[in-house]
Amino acid sequence: MRIKSRWHKNGTPKSMQQVASVMAFIIWRVAQNALERMRGEQYDIDPGPQYFAFLRELLIFLIQIADRIAYQRLDAGQRSEFTTALAIRVAGILHENESDLLGSPPTGSHQESFIALLNELAADYAEFKYTDAGPDFAFLRYLGNRVMATMAQKDRPWVIDQIMSIEAPEAVATVQKGMHDLFEASCLTPAKQGDNL
């Protein structure tokens, strides 16, 4: 998929908030694209709660990927600022879309429930490794299992392989490219290089 990951005017430093906002939109588009491809492959993902359950899992995974890339490029303060802004903006986009289709939840907001789930799963994702080659097998397998739980019973035998072999690698590659382009064009100097989580 094609994404817009270049600024109109290069050479002007961008804030972490600006970079995070653009990256949030890219992550949203990547997750939607994966969902639509899976529907095209005849996976039953109906508009409604299941649709957003699938999106939540993929969005949280992609936020983790962006955070790992930020870890490689930024100091601790910058990374925290970027990832926090990214999570809040992704949660806001999800909230707007989910509210439009499903209305407001009985308590709280879609944004609050997304952030709560993100915080809950962050500890699990922290156990997995990410290198320049991408997320390790366990990282991808965990996503596959999480997505499987959102799927119709008839689709569950095949969904993990679809996620691990096709959807997640393509999504990760797009997020990696977006992060690289945005950080390079934002005049952000890498704080450290060569570190892996």
88-109 per-position pLDDT tens digit: 999 999 999 999 888 888 888 8
Is residue 196 domain-resident?
no
**Which backbone phi and psi does 30 adopt, to 5 degrees?**
-65, -45
Write the DSSP symbol of residue 4.
-
Is residue 8 domain-resident?
no
Is residue 24 domain-resident?
yes
pLDDT of residue 191: 45
**The two structure tokens encoding residue 176:** 């990696």
Cα–Cα dist 185/197, whole Å: 24
pLDDT of residue 12: 66
Is residue 102 domain-resident?
yes
**Residue 3's CB: how many other CB atoms inside 10 A?**
17
Cα–Cα dist 10/17, whole Å: 17
| Max CA distance (Å), the chain | 52
Is residue 10 domain-resident?
no
Is residue 117 domain-resident?
yes
Gyration radius (Cα) of the chain, Å: 16
Domain count, the chain: 1
| Contacts of residue 99, Cβ cutoff 8 Å, sequence gap at least 6 | 109, 110
Is residue 4 domain-resident?
no
**Domain containing residue 116:** 16-185
| pTM over 0.85, yes/no | yes
Q: Do 19 and 183 form a contact (C-beta atoms < 8 A)?
A: yes
Is residue 7 domain-resident?
no
Residue numbers of the chain with a pLDDT score lower than 50: 5, 189-197
